[in-house]
């Protein structure tokens, strides 16, 4: 029986990462990462043919340890794919985000992601057919919404990092793909409930007071993770996958807003939504 190819996925405890394990555990040996032992135990029971490692993207030593364990699992075999899925969102007005907020946002979404690439790259090069890297970005890497400056900045960084990596990898044969989801039903935003308390007494108090309601509304109308199944399948299995997969309810409109509508117009539309006190404004 042919050995399964190995894929390494960061951040599989819930949301998109969890779905990736479900979708691909039959076709591949999935090695997924989580941040705590209780989640690791739960997933091991649910997916007995997959392997789960503890990894914290904010700690270089933790990343290095996880990839050393991956190398042992591979036992000289090549790694087929690295999927950089893990990420967090640190919302709030830029004028009031402290250096710890920025450090947490970028260590997880950008620096940790880059470290995973560095450790995975030689493992991806081992195969006769070179492996592939799939980075999970966001439409917030195309269009930056207010009060999501740190998150948007990290996702814009992932856009630039992925473009450079893809062009560098033309010389090595590794395929590089970027997935750009719109709002997806995950717990990334619910973890930010209670944001209003942090910005009481600031110029933004009136808006941040509505943050919980906005988050609840966005989660209720967000896409199910299943909408991403096709693009991840193609990114993993296609001989020539696309460089980018924008997954959004209105992808054409998203591209128009990001690339063609003058910024004065988009700024006016955003301000109008907030001044009208509408809570259906999407954060990503």
**pLDDT, mean of residues 134-146:** 94
pLDDT band at 193; cut points 50, 70, 90: low
Over range 261-265, report the average pLDDT. Answer: 92
**Contact present, 183 and 282 (Cβ < 8 Å):** yes
Higher pLDDT among residues 40 and 248, named by residue: 40
Mean pLDDT, rounded, for 98-121: 97
Position 215 pLDDT exceeds 60: yes
What 3 state SS string does 85-104 have? CCCCCCCECHHHCCHHHHHH
Catalytic residue among 96, 151, 245, 259: 151
Q: Which two tokens stand for residue 13?
A: 């405890």
Rounded CA-CA distance 67/69 in Å is: 5
Among 208, 212, 175, residue whose Cα is nearest residue 191: 212
- Domains with residue ranges and CATH for the chain: 6-275 (3.40.50.720)
Question: Among 42-46, 188-192, 247-251, whose mean pLDDT is lowest?
Answer: 188-192
Task: Find the length of the chain.
Answer: 284
Q: Is 259 a catalytic residue?
A: no
Q: Would you say residue 280 has pLDDT above 60?
A: no
Q: Is the dihedral of CA 167, 163, 131, 111 positive or negative?
A: positive
pLDDT band at residue 29, thresholds of 50, 70 and 90? very high
- The answer on pLDDT for 207 being more than 70 is yes
Q: By the 8 A CB rule, do 18 and 33 touch?
A: no
Share of the chain above pLDDT 90, in %: 69
SS (H, E, C) 106-174: HHHHHHHHHHHHHHHHHHHCCCCCCCEEEEECCHHHCCCCCCEHHHHHHHHHHHHHHHHHHHHHHHCCC
Determine the pLDDT at residue 283.
Answer: 45
Angle between the 15-24 and 229-237 helix axes, to the nearest 10 degrees? Answer: 60
pLDDT of residue 19 exceeding 80, the answer is yes
Residue scoring higher pLDDT (251 or 227): 227
Own/partner contacts of 191-194, CB < 8 Å, gap of 24 or more, are 191/88, 191/89, 192/89, 192/90, 192/91
Task: Name the residue with higher pLDDT: 179 or 216.
Answer: 179
Instruction: Please identify which residue in the block is written with the tokens 């492996």.
Output: 131
Mean pLDDT of the chain: 90
Tell me what percent of the residues of the chain surpass a pLDDT of 70: 91
Q: What is the pTM of this model?
A: 0.92
pLDDT at 284 over 50: no
């Amino acid at each position: 029986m042919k050995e399964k190819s190995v894929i390494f996925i960061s951040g599989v405890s819930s949301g998109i990462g969890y779905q990736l394990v479900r979708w691909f555990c039959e076709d591949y040996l999935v090695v997924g990462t989580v941040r705590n032992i209780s989640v690791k135990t739960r997933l091991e029971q649910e997916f007995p043919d997959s392997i789960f490692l503890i990894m914290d993207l904010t700690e270089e030593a933790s990343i290095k340890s996880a990839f050393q364990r991956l190398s042992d699992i591979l036992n000289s075999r090549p790694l087929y794919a690295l999927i950089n899925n893990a990420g967090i969102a640190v919302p709030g007005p830029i004028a009031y985000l402290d250096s710890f907020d920025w450090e947490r946002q970028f260590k997880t979404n950008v620096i940790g992601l880059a470290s995973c690439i560095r450790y995975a790259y030689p493992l991806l090069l081992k195969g006769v057919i070179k492996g592939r890297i799939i980075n999970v970005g966001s439409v917030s890497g195309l269009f930056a919404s207010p009060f999501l400056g740190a998150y948007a900045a990290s996702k814009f960084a992932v856009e630039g990092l992925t473009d450079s990596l893809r062009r560098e990898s033309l010389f090595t044969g590794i395929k590089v793909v970027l997935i750009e989801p719109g709002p997806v039903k995950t717990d990334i935003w619910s973890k930010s409930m209670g944001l209003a308390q942090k910005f009481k007494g600031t110029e933004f108090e009136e808006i941040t007071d509505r943050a919980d309601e906005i988050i609840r509304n966005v989660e209720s109308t967000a896409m199910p993770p299943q909408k991403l199944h096709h693009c991840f399948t193609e990114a993993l299995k296609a001989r020539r996958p696309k460089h980018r997969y924008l997954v959004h309810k209105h992808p054409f409109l998203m591209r128009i807003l990001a690339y063609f509508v003058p910024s004065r117009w988009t700024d006016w539309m955003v301000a109008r939504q907030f001044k009208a006190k509408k809570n259906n404004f999407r954060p990503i």
